[in-house]
Amino acid sequence: MDIKLNEHFLDVKETYLFSDIAKRVKRFQEENPGREIIRMGIGDVTLPIPASITSAMEEAVKEMASKDSFHGYPPEYGYEFLRSAISGHYKAIGADSVTPESIYVSDGAKSDLGNLPDILGDNPVIIPDPVYPVYVDSNLMNGRKISFVNGTKDNDFLPEPPADTDIEPSVIYICSPNNPTGAVYSYEGLTAWVNFALRTGSLIIFDAAYEAFISEDKPHTIYEIPGAESCAVEISSFSKFAGFTGLRCGWTVVPDTLEAGGIKLSKFWARRQATKFNGVSYITQKGAAASLSGKGFEDCLANIAYYKRNATMLANVFKDRGIYFTGGVNSPYIWLKCPGDMGGWEFFDSILTRFGIVGTPGEGFGENGRGFFRLTAFGSYENTKKACDLFRTL
């Protein structure tokens, strides 16, 4: 063919992070047959979906089998029952302004993060480093100019807004609680970003996928911050809260108050979704709604508590050993400085050969990830405890 392809795709670095990890683990297993592996690199949930939620989904499957209760094309922005339930959840976590009409249900946060740039023009993009790689890659695919704000030990991996006063209106990504660092913005920290966005005419894309892990007094949603409804969209998900990674459901909040050049952002997002998307499975949406009320909600919180107990165990070990880390409190992630100034890959090999523990080198998340390491709390209690006992001997 002689058609032109989108050459910006060539700017996306192929990542070999997880295949490199898999290769090293495989070699280790071949050289050490029978040796136990403790996987702490998992970014996926492992607990099953609570019966209080699957029973709602079984009911929904049955509805699909009967002519009188069959559901065809779902509403493009989500069923009213789910948009209302999500709006209710926002009220419960302290944001009254999030109406059902401003909530656009989707097949997951990753899709929305990837598709949001569709409706934007050619703006500069500000992304924290270290970072979830999807922010960078989906903007590279559109040929956008990216600048990074640095997360380092000095700011506990919570980068502050640039000090420059002549910043162009930009698109700013913030993930709090952060993947991979587990760091969470305080009210003051997030307010600084909202004020920066308001002052520079910028848009914040706030990724709240790990909101449910927050237990300290920190903002669960950017809409707790005054002014956010004029400068921020928020993307969130049932994946980590309700264990829906395999079921695909998330949402984006686009307040009706967001305007640029006299155009409501919600109008463009609604049009994008109505044209290039056809809604989320009825069964998934019924399950999602069940996760936000009564027994379903309690059961999800119990699962979160299970992962958080793992995180606390890990955090206590590194605290006791005097190893610098972020996360572990309001997050399923622990982000630690590799001891003895090791690089991430060096530490990877070291704990794999000594302990049989697999984690993720910080190098996979950006320049500032060098010499850091991500451990996750999504494993079993038993394995996490074993890992903790081994880390104590570091």
Tell whether the torsion through CA atoms of 24, 28, 29 and 30 is positive or negative: positive
- What's the closest the beta carbon of residue 65 comes to a copy of itself, in angstroms? 4
Measured distance CA(193)–CA(207) in Å, rounded: 14
Among 17, 37, 93, 119, the residue binding a copy of itself under the rule CB under 8 A is 119
Asked whether position 259 contacts a copy of itself by CB under 8 A, the answer is: yes
Measured distance CA(394)–CA(178) in Å, rounded: 26
Among 33, 34, 121, 340, the residue binding a copy of itself under the rule CB under 8 A is 121
Q: Are strands 103-106 and 250-253 parallel, antiparallel or unpaired?
A: antiparallel
The token pair at 6 is 């989108």
Asked whether position 46 contacts a copy of itself by CB under 8 A, the answer is: yes
Among 11, 16, 27, 70, the residue binding a copy of itself under the rule CB under 8 A is 70
Nearer to a copy of itself, 234 or 318 (CB): 234
Among 20, 93, 97, 118, the residue binding a copy of itself under the rule CB under 8 A is 118
- What's the closest the beta carbon of residue 8 comes to a copy of itself, in angstroms? 9
Q: Which of residues 163-182 bind a copy of itself (CB under 8 A)?
A: 169-171
Among 33, 34, 261, 340, the residue binding a copy of itself under the rule CB under 8 A is 261
Asked whether position 260 contacts a copy of itself by CB under 8 A, the answer is: yes
Nearer to a copy of itself, 53 or 190 (CB): 53
Nearer to a copy of itself, 68 or 217 (CB): 68
> DSSP 3-state assignment of 354?
helix
Asked whether position 265 contacts a copy of itself by CB under 8 A, the answer is: yes
Asked whether position 58 contacts a copy of itself by CB under 8 A, the answer is: yes
Residue 210 belongs to what H/E stretch?
none
Which span (32-40, 51-59, 95-103, 366-374) binds a copy of itself, by CB under 8 A? 51-59
Question: Residue by residue, what is the 3-state secondary structure of 27-78?
Answer: HHHHHCCCCCCEECCCCCCCCCCCHHHHHHHHHHHHHHCCCCCCCCCCCCCC
Cβ-defined contacts of 379-383 (< 8 Å, 24+): 379/38, 379/39, 379/40, 379/42, 379/46, 379/310, 380/46, 381/306, 381/309, 381/310, 383/38, 383/39, 383/40
Asked whether position 122 contacts a copy of itself by CB under 8 A, the answer is: yes
Nearer to a copy of itself, 10 or 301 (CB): 10
Q: Which of residues 266-325 bind a copy of itself (CB under 8 A)?
A: 268, 271-272, 275-284
Number of residues that bind a copy of itself (CB under 8 A): 84
Nearer to a copy of itself, 33 or 72 (CB): 72
Give 201's contacts (C-beta < 8 A, 6+ positions apart).
Answer: 169
Asked whether position 247 contacts a copy of itself by CB under 8 A, the answer is: yes
Question: Residue by residue, what is the 3-state secondary structure of 308-337?
Answer: HHHHHHHHHHHHHCCCCEEECCCCCEEEEE
Asked whether position 93 contacts a copy of itself by CB under 8 A, the answer is: no
The token pair at 56 is 């709602």
> What single-letter DSSP state applies at residue 221?
S
